[in-house]
Amino acid sequence: MPDSRLPLYMDIARRLIADIEAGAYACSEYLPAERDLAEQLGVSRATLRSTLKRLETQGVLHAEHGRGHRILPRSCAAAQGDGLRAVALIMPFQHASTMQPIVRGCGAALNAAGYDIVQYDTTADTASAMRMRERTCLEGLSGKGLHGAIWWPSFPDQCHDVVRQAMASGVELVTIDRRVDGVDLDFVGVDNRAAARAAVEHLITEGHTQIMHITQATPASTVADRRAGFEDAMAAHGIEPDEGRVLVWRSAPAERARTAHRLLASPTRPTALFCINDYVAVDVLLVLQDFGARVPDDIAIVGFDNARECMLVRPTLSTVAQPLAAIGETAGRMLLERIDRTCDTPGRRLIMPTELIVRESSVRRSGLDP
């Protein structure tokens, strides 16, 4: 039965490998002609050609001009019976500008080693639907012939059971961006706490003491760590980081308007904001401008991630840059080490460097009163 989660050419490749291992096609002999094989498999010749090309790169077939595709003897051996060389990438918002470098980085490492990537997008309209989709994707790792998965967790603490199930079935897992406490997994990310502290230190250096942290109601280590970094910087300068200095941003239009009014009308209105990520920061910047606020003259803003959108707004957005492509590529290499059994240590945690990028949104212009 076709696997709807796999691209068609990959599913056909897996079926052909299974037929070869089962003896449907004799070792060292040739597969049927393309036209006949496409008809047998019920696919177009274009799809079949993609399949055959993939099996060539895996050393299962050898293309011989004028004769077709010969089955290499080693592809019939039990040692070669690993099936399709593919891994999963499980993450939400895969078309977002901050996610695309991660996807490319994963591909750079895994494709070079002969692995295809099956992308499982966990994006959904609601948190509950997103949680269910993530669990379904993790449950689907077992029995798919996948060698492993790279996982960007949306709800890391609510998937322990399905993660352990996947690991028990032989699927290797590497996590990125958000830690999964309580399960022994490899992890690649950044020191969010230290990076957030550096961002807030920058605002303090610019002369701000009325600083607010704009966050999200998301149960993730990144959210907790960035808030902790904000509190570290404030406390280090003798500024009490009370609850009133932390505000949850909600994207509904009415909520955005109420929040903007609260920020600008408060007797202790902030002069600077450290936002949980760039998407929130850009949203906040635009809403405040709609209310007549000048950035950075009235209120300075710093984001996190260095999304492409930072350069599309005016003023351009100061931010913390993560090495997103390097995170993806490193995660891919770590997964390969697990698959190839060249690493058998307990779960590794690799922390990548960040960089504070100061742009127009957080720098006081000369000649203005503090």
Instruction: Classify residue 3: in a domain, yes or no.
Output: no
Enumerate residues 6+ apart whose C-beta is below 8 A from 364. 206, 207, 296, 297, 300, 370
Residues 200-216 have a mean pLDDT of 96
In the prediction, which pLDDT does 18 show? 80
The pLDDT value recorded for residue 77 is 44
Mean pLDDT of 58-83: 67
pLDDT for position 160? 92
Do 317 and 330 share a structural domain?
A: no
Sign, CA torsion 79/84/86/87: negative
Same domain, 76 and 92: no
362: helix, strand or coil: helix
Residue 79 has pLDDT above 60, yes or no: no
Q: Is 282 a domain residue?
A: yes
Give 346's DSSP letter: S
Q: What is the CATH number of the domain that holds 178?
A: 3.40.50.2300
Residue 170: which domain range? 86-190+324-352
Using a pLDDT cut of 90, give the percent of the chain over it. Answer: 60
Are 296 and 199 found together in one domain?
yes
CATH code of 71's domain: 1.10.10.10
Q: Region 312-329: what's the mean pLDDT?
A: 98
Residue 289 and residue 206 share a domain? yes
Judgement on whether residues 118 and 225 belong to the same structural domain of the protein: no
208 and 309 share one domain: yes
Tokens 């005016």, residue located? 314
Q: Are residues 240 and 175 in the same domain?
A: no
- pLDDT tens digit sequence for 8-45: 888 888 888 888 877 788 777 889 999 999 999 999 99
103, part of any domain:
yes
**Same domain, residue pair 118 and 163:** yes
Confirm whether 179 is domain-assigned: yes
Could you tell me if residue 60 is inside a domain?
yes
**242 pLDDT higher than 90:** no
Which residue, of 63, 80, 97, is where some domain finishes? 80
Classify residue 108 as exposed, middle or buried by CB count within 10 Å of its CB (0-12, 13-18, 19+): middle
Instruction: Kindly state whether residues 97 and 207 are assigned to the same domain.
Output: no
Are 204 and 311 within one domain? yes
**Mean per-residue pLDDT, 157-168:** 91
**Taking a C-beta distance cutoff of 8 angstroms, is the pair 193, 225 a contact?**
yes
Q: Cβ distance 333 to 109 under 8 Å?
A: yes
- Classify residue 166: in a domain, yes or no: yes
Mark which of 35, 62, 80 sits at the end of a domain: 80
Sort 292 into a burial class: Cβ within 10 Å, 0-12 / 13-18 / 19+: exposed
Determine the pLDDT at residue 332.
97
Give the angle subtended at the CA of 16 by the CAs of 13 and 17, to the nearest 5°.
Answer: 85
Backbone angles phi, psi at 325, to 5 degrees: -65, -40
Token readout for 284 is 């906040």
Residues 216 and 115 placed together within one structural domain of the fold: no
**pTM, two decimal places:** 0.79
Number of folded domains in the chain? Answer: 3
Q: Which two tokens stand for residue 354?
A: 């960040």
Extract the runs of DSSP E, i.e. beta strands, from 250-336. 272-275, 300-302, 319-321
Is residue 50 over pLDDT 70? yes
298 plus 288 within the same structural domain: yes
